[in-house]
């Protein structure tokens, strides 16, 4: 964004308000320290009331007024919510579900990403906006569309099918290559003409996994085409104005690594549930992800709720202080701005009961006081602007891996990689560490620890990167369900993990799931040994929810195995066994192994199960120690993050906490502290500048 302060503000939807309210809004924005608002996100119907007739005067006057009030404008391209006339006059622009239902206007995001008519219409609208505003002095950024794929990311229609075929032709080059890639030699699926290639619609049973995985990438790429179409128009009009589109955390349907290359800065929308004590953790996860998507550069928190949302079954409020505390945690992890949805709470429509920075009750409400309070804290934290953060730990993340694992029919239903990323990030968060995310094929040699949660699809290039990282001294932790398929999406033969056996020293011969809910049609009766003379004598350990772990002497190892246990082949005699399975048919077999790197201090750790939180924490403590990383060792509920010259002290608890050895200048009061004790009030962030 083109501003020299931390951004603070929110979505501003003034179409809902009269002139006097807008005038009051400008005063209130100044009172709250607002520096930027996002305007026009849902304005298409007002900007183009009928096809080809544009009315931009109202927007021009609003942008002028914001500018006069010293507030920057993140101007949306308004393409996220087509007006009713578009769907009525051009039904081909409406998306069709897998079941064949048309999604009609009356909500939002009702567009078919493949529709050429839709593409032509947005191009014309965006060009019109660019002509009018590209050189307006208020403009600090362009906000393309809004939350692509939040509601709709696909359409099952002929136009999309045609684009899917063309996409596959470009990827495979020939039908023979496609047949080979998808493994159509099985189940008589051999395709003999391109016209036989169809979208993965409704099928009698499992669709082809290769087709489904490709389709997911195609959907992400198709939406990216829409983004690029708009971006090119905007950049042509004025290349100096940065563009963004707001991401949605770890959204499964868009390959954000690919998208991130096509925005000038990363922005994100984040809505953790305040009813869940894991809310701060979840915010931290998204902040770390966004910073990483931007290659370590600052990002903008484009949306969050000033207080409660309206779309959960029951919508918890943020507790007093949490709004600022969580926002500043996001700044600590790399945000250069905090924006909310939305500035003024709506008085009608679908989001009437979603909080706004200006609540229905006005400035008497707690929300408003907290909004003003955060504005002040952000003003005081100016020194953080542009500051970068260096993480020692990276978690490997790849959308193609998610899609390949989800498209696979077995070996387990759970989204292991997605969940593994959250679990391992949580373990780092709880110990007070910031982590980066990285693509498995990126250069990893700067990291001291690399965690690879369930990288089911392990490419040759990723194997090379991991090898380089261990050679450079990194501790690499690979977890179960990694290395099952190769670049082509085909099963790895000769033992899973084979491509990285040299750094781990082990391969997986078989995986035995447990926590299995037995599939026994027609019987719920408990077995009675006196009657069920055969069945009651059969032991079925697969149903056990957990399996304990032991050390080499058979003593309990802290933590349990969940979901499955690999039967490992140990190929290298230097492999050290850290923990073994206690129960199951694999009792005594290795559950966690470590192979020291050939040179330097690196090592390859393998976790042959899904560890519970205690198990992850135990292992992490050991690996952090091996990597020589100093642990923060802070009181429970307190975290500390350094960004640029500013140290963020966060107290998440309900009690004041005393911390010691704090030196520097308090950003809020200006007071100088020298090795003093500092009291962190309950649910508060205190910022100290060096």
Give catalytic residue positions: 147, 303
Q: At what angle do helices 209-237 and 158-172 cross, to 10 degrees?
A: 100
Q: How far apart are CA 95 and CA 424, in angstroms?
A: 37
- In angstroms, give the least distance from the CB of 681 to ligand GAL: 29
Out of 124, 198, 309, 544, the only residue in the binding site for ligand GAL (CB under 6 A) is 309
Out of 26, 150, 629, 673, the only residue in the binding site for ligand GAL (CB under 6 A) is 150
- If one asks whether residue 336 binds ligand GAL (CB under 6 A), the answer comes out as no
In 3-state terms, what secondary structure has residue 95? coil
- If one asks whether residue 317 binds ligand GAL (CB under 6 A), the answer comes out as no
Out of 214, 303, 423, 566, the only residue in the binding site for ligand GAL (CB under 6 A) is 303
- In angstroms, give the least distance from the CB of 61 to ligand GAL: 23
- In angstroms, give the least distance from the CB of 117 to ligand GAL: 24
- In angstroms, give the least distance from the CB of 332 to ligand GAL: 23
Find the binding residues for ligand GAL in span 519-578 (CB under 6 A).
none
- If one asks whether residue 354 binds ligand GAL (CB under 6 A), the answer comes out as yes
**Closest Cα partner for 658 from 641, 642, 637, 643?**
637
Query: 3-state SS string over 331-353?
Result: HHCCEEEEEECCCECCCCCCCCC
Q: Which stretch binds ligand GAL (CB under 6 A): 142-150, 424-432, 571-579, 661-669?
A: 142-150
Query: 3-state SS string over 160-200?
Result: HHHHHHHHHHHHHCCHHHHHHHHCCCCCCCCCCCHHHCCCC
Whether 38 and 66 have beta carbons less than 8 Å apart is answered as no
Is the peptide bond prior to 411 cis by the omega test (within 30 degrees of 0)?
yes
Find the binding residues for ligand GAL in span 257-296 (CB under 6 A).
269, 271
Out of 351, 441, 567, 571, the only residue in the binding site for ligand GAL (CB under 6 A) is 351
Its sign, for the CA torsion 663, 669, 671, 677, is negative
Q: Which stretch binds ligand GAL (CB under 6 A): 122-130, 227-235, 302-310, 594-602?
A: 302-310
Which tokens sit at 664?
């520097």
- In angstroms, give the least distance from the CB of 346 to ligand GAL: 10
Q: Which stretch binds ligand GAL (CB under 6 A): 144-152, 228-236, 357-365, 633-641?
A: 144-152
Instruction: Please say which residue, 259 or 605, places its beta carbon nearer to ligand GAL.
Output: 259
Q: How far apart are CA 344 and CA 348, in angstroms?
A: 12
Q: How far apart are CA 605 and CA 480, in angstroms?
A: 11
**Closest Cα partner for 306 from 336, 340, 279, 350?**
340
Q: How far apart are CA 330 and CA 288, in angstroms?
A: 9
Q: How far apart are CA 176 and CA 178, in angstroms?
A: 5
Instruction: Please say which residue, 146 or 593, places its beta carbon nearer to ligand GAL.
Output: 146
65 CB burial (10 A radius; 0-12, 13-18, 19+)? middle
Instruction: Please say which residue, 271 or 484, places its beta carbon nearer to ligand GAL.
Output: 271
**Closest Cα partner for 214 from 169, 259, 261?**
169
- In angstroms, give the least distance from the CB of 14 to ligand GAL: 15
Q: Which stretch binds ligand GAL (CB under 6 A): 15-23, 120-128, 143-151, 526-534?
A: 143-151
Find the binding residues for ligand GAL in span 177-216 (CB under 6 A).
none
Which tokens sit at 450?
């690399």
Size of the site for ligand GAL (CB under 6 A): 11
Q: Which stretch binds ligand GAL (CB under 6 A): 146-154, 258-266, 404-412, 465-473?
A: 146-154
DSSP letter at 525 equals P
Contacts of 339 (CB under 8 A, 6+ apart): 7, 8, 9, 10, 11, 36, 37, 38, 74, 300, 301, 302, 303, 304
Contacts of 331 (CB under 8 A, 6+ apart): 6, 338, 378, 381, 384, 643, 648
**Strands (DSSP E) along 58-106, which ranges?**
72-76
Instruction: Please say which residue, 129 or 251, places its beta carbon nearer to ligand GAL.
Output: 251
Q: Which stretch binds ligand GAL (CB under 6 A): 162-170, 211-219, 301-309, 529-537?
A: 301-309
**Which residues does residue 113 pair with via DSSP β-bridges, in sequence order?**
none
Instruction: Please say which residue, 184 or 253, places its beta carbon nearer to ligand GAL.
Output: 253
Instruction: Please say which residue, 309 or 365, places its beta carbon nearer to ligand GAL.
Output: 309
Out of 132, 147, 157, 230, the only residue in the binding site for ligand GAL (CB under 6 A) is 147
- In angstroms, give the least distance from the CB of 482 to ligand GAL: 33
Instruction: Please say which residue, 351 or 468, places its beta carbon nearer to ligand GAL.
Output: 351
Instruction: Please say which residue, 38 or 427, places its beta carbon nearer to ligand GAL.
Output: 38
Instruction: Please say which residue, 267 or 618, places its beta carbon nearer to ligand GAL.
Output: 267
DSSP letter string, 108-148 = S----TT-HHHHHHHHHHHHHHHHHHTT-TTEEEEE-SSST
The binding site for ligand GAL (CB under 6 A) comprises 146-147, 150, 269, 271, 303, 305, 309, 341, 351, 354
């Amino acid at each position: 964004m083109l501003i020299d302060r931390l951004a603070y503000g929110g979505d501003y939807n003034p179409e809902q308000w009269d002139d006097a309210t807008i005038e009051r809004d400008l005063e209130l924005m100044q009172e709250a320290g607002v520096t930027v608002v996002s305007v026009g996100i849902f304005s298409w119907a007002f900007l183009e009331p009928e096809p080809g007739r544009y009315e931009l005067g109202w927007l021009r006057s609003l942008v002028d007024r914001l500018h006069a009030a010293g507030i920057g404008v993140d101007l949306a391209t308004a393409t996220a919510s087509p007006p009713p006339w578009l769907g009525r006059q051009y039904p081909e622009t409406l998306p069709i579900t897998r079941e064949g239902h048309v999604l009609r206007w009356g909500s939002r995001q009702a567009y078919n990403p493949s529709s050429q008519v839709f593409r032509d219409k947005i191009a014309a609208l965006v060009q019109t906006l660019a002509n009018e505003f590209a050189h307006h002095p208020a403009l600090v950024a362009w906000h393309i569309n809004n939350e692509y794929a939040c509601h709709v990311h696909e359409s099952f229609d002929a136009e999309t099918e045609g684009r899917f075929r063309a996409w596959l032709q470009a990827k495979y080059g020939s039908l023979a290559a496609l047949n080979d890639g998808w493994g159509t030699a099985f189940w008589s699926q051999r395709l003999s003409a391109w016209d036989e290639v169809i979208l993965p619609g409704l099928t009698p049973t499992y669709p082809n996994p290769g087709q489904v995985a490709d389709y997911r990438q195609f959907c992400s790429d198709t939406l990216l085409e829409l983004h690029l179409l708009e971006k090119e128009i905007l950049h042509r009009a004025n290349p100096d104005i940065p563009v963004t589109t707001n991401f949605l955390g770890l959204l499964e349907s868009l390959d954000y690594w690919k998208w991130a290359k096509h925005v000038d800065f990363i922005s994100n929308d984040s809505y953790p549930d305040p009813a869940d004590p894991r809310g701060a953790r979840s915010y931290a996860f998204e902040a770390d992800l966004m910073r990483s998507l931007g290659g370590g550069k600052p990002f903008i928190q484009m949306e969050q709720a000033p207080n409660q949302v309206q779309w959960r079954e029951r919508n918890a409020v943020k507790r007093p202080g949490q709004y600022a505390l969580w926002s500043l945690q996001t700044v600590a992890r790399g945000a250069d701005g905090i924006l909310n949805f939305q500035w003024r709470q709506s008085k009608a429509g679908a989001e009437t009961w979603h909080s706004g920075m200006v609540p229905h009750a006005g400035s008497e409400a707690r929300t408003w006081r907290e909004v003003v309070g955060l504005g002040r804290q952000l003003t005081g934290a100016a020194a953080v602007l542009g500051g970068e953060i260096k993480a020692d730990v990276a978690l490997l993340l790849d959308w193609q891996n998610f899609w390949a694992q989800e498209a696979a029919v077995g070996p387990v239903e759970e989204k292991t990689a997605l969940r593994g990323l959250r679990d391992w990030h949580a373990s780092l968060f709880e110990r007070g560490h910031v982590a980066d995310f990285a693509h498995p094929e990126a250069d990893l040699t700067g990291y001291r620890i690399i965690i690879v949660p369930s990288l089911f699809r392990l490419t040759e290039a990723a194997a090379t990167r991991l090898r380089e990282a261990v050679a450079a001294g990194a501790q690499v932790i690979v977890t179960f369900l990694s290395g099952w398929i190769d670049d082509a999406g085909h099963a790895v033969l000769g033992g899973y993990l084979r491509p990285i056996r040299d750094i781990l020293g082990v391969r997986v011969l078989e995986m035995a799931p447990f926590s299995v809910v037995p599939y026994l049609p027609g019987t719920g009766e408990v077995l009675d040994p006196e009657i069920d003379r055969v069945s009651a004598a059969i032991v079925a350990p697969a149903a056990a929810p957990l399996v304990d772990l032991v050390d080499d002497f058979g003593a309990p190892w802290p933590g349990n195995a969940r979901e499955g246990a690999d039967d490992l082949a140990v190929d290298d005699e230097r492999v050290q066994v850290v923990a073994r399975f206690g129960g199951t048919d694999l009792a005594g077999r290795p559950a966690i192994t470590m192979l020291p790197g050939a040179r330097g201090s690196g090592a390859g750790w393998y976790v042959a199960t899904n560890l519970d939180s205690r198990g992850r924490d135990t292992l992490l403590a050991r690996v952090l120690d091996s990597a020589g990383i100093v642990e923060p060792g802070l009181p429970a509920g307190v975290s500390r993050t350094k960004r640029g010259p500013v140290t963020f002290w966060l107290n998440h608890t309900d009690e004041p906490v005393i911390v010691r050895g704090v030196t520097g200048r308090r950003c809020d009061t200006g007071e100088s502290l020298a090795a003093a004790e500092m009291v962190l009030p309950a649910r508060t962030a205190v910022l100290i500048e060096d």
